[in-house]
Amino acid sequence: MNWQKSSHCSEGASCVHVAATTRTVHLTESGDPSGSILRAAPATFAALLTTLKKESPRV
Which tens digit of pLDDT belongs to each residue from 5-56?
Answer: 877 777 766 788 889 999 999 988 877 767 778 899 999 999 988 998 887 6
DSSP secondary-structure letter at 29?
E
Answer whether 25's CB lies under 8 Å from 42's CB: yes
pLDDT of residue 44: 95
* H or E element, residue 28: strand 25-29
Q: Determine if residue 12 is left, alpha or beta; phi over 0 gives left, psi from -120 to 50 gives alpha, anything else beta.
A: left
pLDDT of residue 46: 94
Name 14's Cβ contacts closer than 8 Å, sequence gap at least 6.
Answer: 29, 30, 31
pLDDT of residue 45: 92
Question: For the whole model, what pTM was predicted?
Answer: 0.71
pLDDT of residue 37: 83
